[in-house]
Every structure is written in structure tokens, then in C-alpha cells.
Amino acid sequence: MAAAAASPRKQIHIDVVQSVMPVAVTPPGQSRRISTAGGPLRPELLQSRVRIVLYYEDKGAATPAMVGAWIKESLSAALATEPVMAGRLRRATDGSEHWEVKFNDCGARLVQATAEATMAEFMSGDGDRWEAHLAHWVDVDEENPNFSALFYVQVTQFHGGGFSVGINCSLLLADPFFLGHFLKSWTDTHAAMLTQGQLTDSPIFHLAYFQRPGQPNHLKSIDLGSNPSATHTTLLFAADPKTNNVQSTRGQIADNYFQVATRRVQRKDLSNYSLIISDHSGDKVVEPHAVTSSNVVDETVSGAQEQAWVDQLGLEKISFVGGNYPIRISCRIISCVDEGLVMIVMPPKKAWLISVTIPEVYF
């Protein structure tokens, strides 16, 4: 008796990819410096990013395709107030090894997609491997990074109803806290435009309306779960800058929390990591670090309680259709370095956030 044919894998279809430019011209000459005093920027850091996925039920007020078209318009308005989010990476022009994010009008990328799986399937345990397909990303070109987008938004319609809004944002562009602030500001703009009737029921910025007969309905189709990659664990800690455990240098702070994190996930063999320091003054510091065996972890740090990025960002009220709030929010740090990645994020007048991402298993 012939063996039964294997059932085909479910797919996700990329239907539309558009660039979203700011509605206002970005003044020339603006940039944010990325200091790399500790050595050249590791190429893997160009691909490291924060991924946020918000899941929404279908409440009938607007189709996912309409939401995607609305997002095109409201995101254009939001980028005008935060032009850095439309920027591009480039090597500094002063002859140093430093980099910078150049503010310009190249814009973000907006992707609209349809999934053959249901939202419930994505939200199940097996859906963890699929979730990467809900937030589009194209690797930054190492040779010509100024042509690569650093901020992606994807609207995905699920089989059977519901949709998601997925975000991928380079860590060299924005840390999770800054990104969360921008998302809230953007959706405030979105809500105001919706209330004022600036987002119509028949948006003009929906390229799916212009598909030609006889042409493929999808730009690309991808098997779900087809992206084998390294798995990572991120541990997040909050540190009050007024307490003794953060009075040492930033490098010592990073070393302490990196050692605590590696012990908790039982990866004591790791001693090297990349450090990103974001103090929200504008510029960033990126440098390699190696933990020395003589470094003694502060007792206060050893007992530090773990936090969650989702709880820190306050995205529970993010809405693209009036009153339709996310039923689930996922936030992950995607590290492409083969060692550790530590971020020290220093929001104004708030506790510092120390994020440690550690590789676990390769498969």
C-alpha cells in the first residue's frame, strides 16, 4: 500500500511591499553618531534587531487590507516627527571607524501579507517558530548599508479572521524603549487621523487594488517554519541609577549583569559579548567586551529580579481600529552575534534597563 502523501506545509504570502516616506521633507545634515571606539563594528550587529508582534481579533470595523492602507498614511505623518526612523546607516565621513544613522526621506518599509494558518495556530506553542514570518526583515547590506531599510512594519491577515502588526527595527536605529515610545506616538497620530476622517474607507495607498489580471496575486510565498536559526534567550533587568550597584563604569555594570545572566541560563562558557549603550541623548556607543575571571559580581546584582520587555513598553492600548486592542503582544531581541549581546538603555528619569541576550542552541 502506497504511503500517504505528506500534507503540504502551510504558507505565508507576501502580497505588497511599499516604502513609506515622511510627509515632510527632512532637513539636511541631521544624523546620530554610533561610536565604535572599542574596535570596528561587527557585521553581525547590522542584523540585530527588536521584533514586536501585536495580535488583533477581527471585530469587523475594518479589513486587514484597509488597516494596512491606513498605516501607510499615518506612518508617513509619524515619520515626519521622528525622521530618524526613516534613516539609513552609513560609515562616518570623518575617516574614523565610527558609523552614523543619517536622517533622510528613504523611509520605512510596509509589507502586507496573508497567512494560511489561523491566529490561534500562531499563538500556540508551535507558532513560536512561525512568528518570525509576521515581521518582515531584509538583512542590511554590509557593503552598501545606506540602501537598506532599518524599520519594517508588516500587516498579516490570518486564515479564519484576525490580523497582526509586526515590527522589526534595527538596534542600531532604536532600542526597544525608544521604539515603544515611537509606536505610541504613531498610533496617537493614527487615531487622530481616523477620528478626523483623514483615513478613508477606500484608501488610495493600497497597491493590491492595482493588481493586473493574469499576474500572480503574491510577490512571494514562504513555508511557515522554514527559517532555521539560532535560538536566544533575553534576560532583562532594571537598575536604579541612584543605588550603589550602578555607580561603577558602564562596562563593569554590563559585565556584572552578563555574568548573572549566563549563570541563570547555564552558559558559563561565554565570556565575550557586544555592548550597546543607549542613553537617549542621541548618540550610541557600540563596543566589544570580554569578562575577566577576576570580576566579582556585586551581591545586589546577583539577586536582581528579571523583567519583561513587554511590561516595560506599555503597548497594551496600541490600536489601529478604534477600541480594538491587542490580545497578545510579543517582544523579542533578535541577536545575530554568535556570542552575547548586552544593551544598557537609560530612559530619562527612569530606571536603567540592562538587556542580556545569550545564544542557547543552534539547529
Helix axes 64-81, 176-195, angle to 10 degrees: 110
- pLDDT of 60 higher than 60: yes
pLDDT above 90 (res 57) = yes
Q: What is the pLDDT of residues 141-154, one digit of tens each?
A: 998 999 999 999 99
Residue carrying the nine cell digits 470595523: 61
The answer, yes or no, to whether residue 211 has pLDDT greater than 70, is: no
What are the residues facing 306 on neighbouring strands? 237
**pLDDT recorded at residue 363:** 36
In the structure grid, which three cell numbers stand for residue 73, read together? 498614511
What is the average pLDDT score of the chain? 86
Which domains does the chain show, CATH number per domain?
A: 11-228+309-336 (3.30.559.10)
Which pLDDT band, with edges at 50, 70 and 90, does 304 fall under?
confident
249 has pLDDT over 70: yes
Query: Which pTM was predicted?
Result: 0.91
Is pLDDT at 174 greater than 90 in this prediction?
yes
pLDDT-based confidence at residue 5 (cuts at 50, 70, 90): low
What residue type is assigned to position 278 of the chain? S
Cell numbers describing residue 85: 526612523
- Spell out a b/e string for 26-41, using b for 16 or more CB atoms within 10 Å of the CB, else e: beeeebbbbbbeeeeb
Question: Which of 104-108, 132-136, 160-164, 182-186 is the least confident region?
Answer: 104-108
- Bridge partners, 354 (sequence order): 237, 344
54-80: average pLDDT: 90
Specify whether the CB–CB gap between 81 and 74 falls below 8 A.
no
